[in-house]
Amino acid sequence: MVIGLGAMGSSTLRELAHRGVAALGIERFTPGHAHGSSHGGSRVVRCAYFEHPDYVPLLTRSIALWHRLESARGRRLLHRTGILLAGKPGSQVVRGSVSSARIHGLAHEVLNAQMVNERFPMFALPPMFEAMLEPETGYVRPEWAVEDSVADAREHGATVMDRTTVTAIHARSDGVTIETDRGEFIADRAVVTVGPWCERLVPWPKAPVCVSRQVIAWLDPEDPSACAEGVLPTFCIDAQEGFLYGCPIAVDQPAPAGMKVAWHIIGETVDPDGPIVPPIASEGESIAQAVARYIPGCRGRVTSMRTCLYSNSPDGHFLIGSWGDSGRVTAASGFSGHGFKFMPVLGEALADLAMKGSTRLPIGFLSPSRLG
C-alpha cells in the first residue's frame, strides 16, 4: 500500500505496479493537487547539486527515468532549458555546484558576471557575481508527472482511492493496519509519502519535520520574447536578499501564464490542516523587484500568485527509511522544497525498500539515523 500520491508516492505506486505487485494507493485529495509542493506548473531540475555531491548519482538516474515516463505516456515532462546558477562572491550555490559537476564529470561552464550579461542580455548581474551554466537540465511539469505516473500505475494493475484521509497507521509483525475516513484496510507493507502531514502519521522521533508556507509568482514581462524558452535559461540566483529561482515561458505552459519566479527560502511555519494565508501584494512585489534588479530584461508586473507548502527536515536533506520497529512501513519525508526532481528515482528506491528492505541506489546518506 502506498499512502500519499504526490511526487514520491505516485512514482512508487507506478514502480510497484510495473513489478507485478498488487498495490493500493490512497490519496487524501486527487493526484496532481495543489495542497503540498507538487504543483505550480514547473519544478527546477538540476544535476550539479550544491546541497551535497552524493545526490548527483540519484539525479542522473532520475533524468533517464523522466524520459522513460515520457515515452510511456507520450507527454513531454522534462524541458532541457539549461540552468544558470549565479551568486554573490563566495556563493556556496555556485561553488558547491561547480564542485559537484567536477566530481561527477557533468557538463558545465564556469562564468563571470560579464560573460553572463553578454550571453544573456536580459541579465544584469553585479560585477563581482560568480556563475555556472549547466546545459543539460531545466525543469519538469509536476502536475503532469504525478497524473501520468498514477495513470500508468492503474494501467499496470494498481488500485487508487482518492479523496480518502488516512487517520492512523498501526504496524505489527504480521502486517499493517491503516485507518481511514472510509474504513480500515490491511496491508502486508506500506510506503508513506504524505508530505506536510508526515508529522501526523510517521514522525521521526529525532528528526522533526516542520511545514512552511511559500509563495510563487507569475510575471507578465514587458518583453515576453526575452523570457521565452530557448532564450532565457532556467535560473537560480543566490542574491543578498535570498535564493531567487525562475523558469522561462513555454508554449505548452499550463495556467497561469507568464514567467514563474519565487524565493527558495524557508517561510513562516504553518499547520497544513489550518487556513493557509493567501499571498499578499507585498510578497509579489518583493519577487518582482528582485527580477527587475538582476534580470531587468524580464521585468514585469505580477499577474498571479500561489502558495505551496515545504516539508522541512532539520538539516534540509531528505528523510528516507524504515519507520517503526516492525520493518513493514517505509517512510519518506522532509523534502524541503528541493525533492521533486528526484521523483522517479526515489520511486524505485522506495519500491525496493518496501519489497526487499534495502536498495542498491545510493540513499544511505538520507537515512534519518544521521540525526541521532
Are 56 and 106 a contacting pair, CB within 8 Å?
A: yes
DSSP 135: T
Domain boundary among 296, 312, 328: 312
Residue 193 lies in domain: 1-41+142-206+315-372
Please choose, from the candidates 329, 70, 119, the residue with its C-alpha nearest in 3D space to the C-alpha of residue 235.
119
User: Is residue 320 located within the same domain as residue 339?
Assistant: yes
- Beta-strand ranges (E) seen in the chain are 2-3, 24-26, 43-45, 78-79, 83-87, 109-112, 130-134, 138-140, 159-161, 166-172, 175-180, 183-187, 190-192, 210-221, 234-239, 242-247, 259-263, 300-312, 319-322, 329-333
In a domain, 275, yes or no: yes
Residue 8: its pLDDT value, please?
98
Residue 186: its pLDDT value, please?
96
The x, y and z cell numbers of residue 262, run together, are 519565487
The x, y and z cell numbers of residue 37, run together, are 509542493
Measured torsion, CA atoms of residues 62, 65, 66, 69, in degrees rounded to the nearest 10: -150
In a domain, 49, yes or no: no
Identify the CATH number of the domain in which residue 81 sits: 3.30.9.10
In a domain, 61, yes or no: no
Contacts of 53 (CB under 8 A, 6+ apart): 99, 100, 103, 104
Q: How confident is the model at residue 372 (pLDDT cuts 50, 70, 90)?
A: confident
Number of alpha carbons in the 13 Å side-chain half-sphere of residue 166? 30
Residue range 319-324: average pLDDT? 96
In a domain, 320, yes or no: yes
User: Is residue 76 located within the same domain as residue 215?
Assistant: yes
Please choose, from the candidates 137, 131, 129, 84, the residue with its C-alpha nearest in 3D space to the C-alpha of residue 110.
131
In a domain, 147, yes or no: yes
Please give the Cα distance from 111 to 117 (Å, whole number).
10
Please choose, from the candidates 53, 29, 232, 230, the residue with its C-alpha nearest in 3D space to the C-alpha of residue 143.
29
For residue 314, count other CB atoms closer than 10 A to its CB: 18
In a domain, 116, yes or no: yes
Please choose, from the candidates 11, 87, 99, 93, the residue with its C-alpha nearest in 3D space to the C-alpha of residue 54.
99
Residue 124 has pLDDT above 90, yes or no: yes
User: Is residue 36 located within the same domain as residue 98?
Assistant: no
Q: How confident is the model at residue 151 (pLDDT cuts 50, 70, 90)?
A: very high
Identify the CATH number of the domain in which residue 181 sits: 3.50.50.60
Please choose, from the candidates 318, 315, 314, the residue with its C-alpha nearest in 3D space to the C-alpha of residue 339.
318
Q: How confident is the model at residue 180 (pLDDT cuts 50, 70, 90)?
A: very high
User: Is residue 337 located within the same domain as residue 301?
Assistant: no
Residue 132 has pLDDT above 90, yes or no: yes
Domain boundary among 289, 312, 335: 312
User: Is residue 118 located within the same domain as residue 240?
Assistant: yes
Please give the Cα distance from 333 to 35 (Å, whole number).
15
User: Is residue 264 located within the same domain as residue 368?
Assistant: no
User: Is residue 222 located within the same domain as residue 106?
Assistant: yes
Number of structural domains found in the chain: 2
Residue range 178-199: average pLDDT? 97
Query: Could you tell me the pTM of the whole model?
Result: 0.97
Please give the Cα distance from 75 to 78 (Å, whole number).
9
- Determine what percent of the chain is predicted with pLDDT higher than 90: 99
Please give the Cα distance from 330 to 327 (Å, whole number).
8
User: Is residue 133 located within the same domain as residue 215?
Assistant: yes
In a domain, 60, yes or no: no
For residue 274, count other CB atoms closer than 10 A to its CB: 8
Please choose, from the candidates 142, 140, 133, 141, the residue with its C-alpha nearest in 3D space to the C-alpha of residue 48.
133
User: Is residue 78 located within the same domain as residue 31?
Assistant: no
Tell me the per-residue pLDDT of 346-367, one tens digit each, with 9 for 90 and over. Answer: 999 999 999 999 999 999 999 9
- Determine what percent of the chain is predicted with pLDDT higher than 70: 100
Domain boundary among 312, 339, 360: 312
User: Is residue 202 located within the same domain as residue 216?
Assistant: no
Are 38 and 15 a contacting pair, CB within 8 Å?
A: no
In a domain, 59, yes or no: no
User: Is residue 158 located within the same domain as residue 255?
Assistant: no
User: Is residue 227 located within the same domain as residue 291?
Assistant: yes
Q: How confident is the model at residue 113 (pLDDT cuts 50, 70, 90)?
A: very high
Tell me the per-residue pLDDT of 304-313, one tens digit each, with 9 for 90 and over. Answer: 999 999 999 9
The separation between CA 3 and the C-alpha centre of its own chain, rounded to angstroms, equals: 18
DSSP readout, 144-192? HHHHHHHHHHHHTT-EEE-S--EEEEEEETTEEEEEEBTEEEEES-EEE
